[in-house]
Amino acid sequence: MAVDTAKKIGNQAIVASGLTKSFGEGETKVTAVKGVAFSAQFGEMLYIVGPSGSGKTTLLSMISGILRPTSGTVTVKGADIWTQNTDQLADFRLHTIGFVFQDYHLFPRLTAAENVAIPLLLQDRDWNESIAAANKYLEIVGLKGRGETLPVKLSGGEQQRVAIARAIVSGPEILIFDEPTASLDGDTGKMIISFVKTKILNSKRSILIVTHDARINEYADRIIHMEDGRITGLDKGTE
Ligand SMILES: Nc1ncnc2c1ncn2[C@@H]1O[C@H](COP(=O)(O)OP(=O)(O)O)[C@@H](O)[C@H]1O
Ligand SMILES: [Mg+2]
């Protein structure tokens, strides 16, 4: 059994155990996540699906080192992240995790390339080198030559590609998408997720997608269902 366990940990990107988060005290106390346990493997695209208010964003925030759990543990690549100090956690967020949000979160006054370069600039990398790397990643997401364009001149799907380039530019192994297709029309949403699955996912990456969008279910390797802070089921996905 020890050998089996060691083998499993070898491919485990994230292990969450007994994860619980409460907000407030007394009568106003809300427990958003209630004893959630799951693991995400390298090489897989794992979805977390559930109605609004079921605790999905709270769960992602605890996994990504943004929100300290009330109880439970998050182990990423074998390390218990919430035992780390503030500097170690900041380092973890910068180097290990890449985030993509529903509304892209691009800076409107920065060009596409400058937006993508932000994680590198935060790592004190040289400006020209960072912009060159950003342009290379824009090419990877299908936006070659658009580096000097401002976000307002890009379509929703193109802005989401810029956000994806920014999430992967510093090479994080874990990518977290919170409702990435919610602001896109159905075809564009499917194109983006199909692109992520074929071009961004690889055996050294783990991708977690929180979604309401059943049109993209076909790309999931596994689907975790959440309701009222708890995991209520697990599907294998349809591919
Ligand atoms: N910072 C907070 N303070 C108080 N309540 C919160 C906070 N964040 C989330 N909640 C509550 O926790 C529950 C789960 O929210 P959330 O994780 O955002 O759900 P989802 O992403 O599935 O829509 C909701 O009832 C929400 O109001
Ligand atoms: Mg949410």
Cβ distance 20 to 34 under 8 Å? Answer: yes
Read off the pLDDT band of 167 (50, 70, 90).
very high
Q: Quick check: 33 pLDDT over 80? A: yes
Distance from Cα 55 to the centre of ligand 1, integer Å: 6
Cα separation, 76 vs 39, whole angstroms: 10
Q: Quick check: 197 pLDDT over 60? A: yes
Q: Quick check: 122 pLDDT over 80? A: yes
pLDDT at 1: 44
Answer yes or no: is the C-beta of 102 below 6 A from any ligand 1 atom: no
Answer yes or no: is the C-beta of 229 below 6 A from any ligand 1 atom: no
Exposure string of 118-144, with b = 16+ CB inside 10 Å and e = fewer, is: bbbeeeeeeeeebbebbbebbebbebe
As a whole number of angstroms, the longest Cα–Cα distance in the chain is 56
Its pTM stands at 0.89
pLDDT at 221: 95
Tens of pLDDT, residue by residue over 65-107, are 999 999 999 999 989 999 999 999 999 998 999 999 888 999 9
The preferred substitution site among 19, 20, 30 for testing ligand 1, maximizing ligand atoms within 8 Å of CB, is: 30
